Chain A
Amino acid sequence: MPEEREAKEGPTLAATALMIVMSLGLAAFSLIIIYYGIRAAGSRTETPGMDAWFQVLFGVTGLMLSLKMVYDVLRMKISPEEEEPTIVSRLQCVDCGHWKEREFREGEYVGLKTGEACPKCGGSMFVAAIYAKRPRKQARRPLF
């Protein structure tokens, strides 16, 4: 079991902390570099040379890299929560075929007479299907 614990927590926490410190350091360094680059480029006394622009470019790259690192770390931490589909029962009237959906109740199965009355004709209703309904209709249009 100690092996498992280590596998689970040890490197993860340390690595996460290290990643965050590194990316923050990189971000700070990049900002300073950008600042000096802009200063050099913007100074009226000297002709702005390639060096200054190179510095800005370097800083922007560093900043992007650090943002990406932070983003990665955060994305890893916040595990992608899948939307829980709601389970619904489709009740159908034996007599008139009218149907309605409502939340699934434990113990129900397809074919069961639920004892509820049909809202249209008062006939008895049975469970015609049970399925998972997505919370909101996802646009799942196929590309091909």
Chain B
Amino acid sequence: MLPSWLLEKGLLEGLTGAQAGDLGDSWLNWIIFMIMIAVLNIYGSKLQVQMWMNQIARALGQLQQLTREASDTFLQEASKFGGDGERVKKILQEAKGFFTISPVTLDPTGAIRRLENILDEAEDSLNRFVERAAPKADSVKRANLRDQLEGVIVLDLIFRIVRHFYLLGRKTQNWIYIAQVQMQLPEIMRIARAYWRSSTAFQKGVPVGDSIGPLIALRLIGDAPVEEVAKNVVAAEVELEDRRVIVVKAKGPGGEVGKPGEAIRRIVESRGGKVAKIVMIDAATKLEGEPTGEVAEGSGAAIGDPGPEKWKIEEVASQYSIPVHSIVIKQDLLEAITPMAQEIAEAVDKVIERVRRTIREGTKPGDVVIVAGIGNTVGVGNTLGRAEVMAVA
């Protein structure tokens, strides 16, 4: 049972020259044991906080690295399109920390319009940053660079916030600051890595999970001609299930989301409200445990914008009593901004099946139905097998 051969050979005895039971005196054992327990009790929490601090410091290093890599990718990409290294660096420095201030809602009247105004200006500002950084980029490349720049800004913000709590905790020695960051660290890092990855997706122009809406819209459009109906939104009329279906998507293949609400409002109004149904297709945040690519449907406008576009759709739909039906494809927050997972891409046929059924239900042959594929259209063109947008309004 015991490796007594080891003892009999006397190998270890020769090395240590000790006698059996030297350390076996019970009082000595107990004193060592007690001292260790006492030390751990008194300094345990301090040690714990120190370990948390170390973890956060390491994460900070990684965050800085991710931010730097995303910045470098932006820099490289911008310099391919006429950006000068030093100047792009300066522009990046100016763009970092870019913020938007939400409108006053104490007086809710017109808050949506005020919000839209602010968001428009935010987008324009970012576009101007990109135009200065990469003057030779075309509209597709400019949109992708803008999305890339947004990723850098978010990564930089995450880094700043974590650094803030780390330094605050170190300065005040208040473990609450340390603990709250440490506990959230895995999630923070997951989000940061997703933004870092999304920056490569936008650099290469690869569709992300959120592009599933436009991708399905494109499949419905087929090779029908499209026209631009609102800022960065295209539409095409196709016949599906004997209905006249107007398919709406953001104008690709650059990373645009466009103003689909504006487009739907214009289409409905131009037809005097004679629209039988509005069907919206969008990516939706899944609950943990739900499989990626699961399809669900429901009532209401599925669109994850900060408010204005959704508001326009709801307004125009209620004004003309048009039912709004939504079909969503489940994915988690990170899948939505990183290259589209195969499970999501393979949901396309299932969704189209449901769209066809939804178009039939509650409408008559010959009715007009609007189908909107909502989301960022990066890497998704406007018609199958055609290189360019046919008509631009």
Contact = CB atoms under 8 A, between A and B. Distances in A.
Interface residues of A, number: 55
B380 interface: yes
State the majority secondary structure of interface residues on A: mixed
A111 B382 contact: yes
A125 to B, nearest CB: 9
Contacts of A43: 7, 20-21
A35 B12 contact: yes
Given A7-B167, A36-B20, A130-B207, A112 B58 contact: no
A36 B284 CA distance: 63
A38 interface: yes
A112 B381 contact: yes
B29 A58 contact: yes
A33 to B, nearest CB: 7
A66 to B, nearest CB: 14
Contacts of B2: 38, 41-42
A64 B22 CA distance: 23
A129 B291 contact: no
B384 interface: yes
Interface stretch (B101-109, B313-321, B334-342): B334-342
B340 A55 contact: no
Interface in A88-144: 90, 94, 104, 106-113, 124, 126, 128-134, 142-144
Contacts of B55: 76
B379 A109 contact: yes
A51 B193 contact: no
Given A12-B54, A42-B4, A55-B23, A109 B342 contact: no
B381 A8 contact: no
B341 A11 contact: no
B24 A52 contact: yes
Given A42-B2, A131-B341, A131-B344, A36 B21 contact: yes
Nearest to A35: B12
B139 interface: no
A15 interface: yes
A132 B20 contact: no
Contact of A87 (B53, B57, B206, B383): B206
B257 interface: no
Contacts of B304: none
Interface in A28-66: 32-33, 35-43, 46, 49, 51-52, 54-55, 58
B3 A38 contact: yes
A9 to B, nearest CB: 7
Which of B20, B64, B348 has the largest number of chain A CB atoms within 10 A? B20
23 contacts: A9-B61, A11-B53, A11-B54, A32-B16, A36-B18, A37-B24, A40-B21, A42-B2, A43-B7, A46-B21, A55-B29, A106-B204, A109-B253, A111-B218, A111-B380, A111-B381, A111-B384, A112-B381, A113-B386, A126-B384, A129-B207, A131-B341, A134-B342
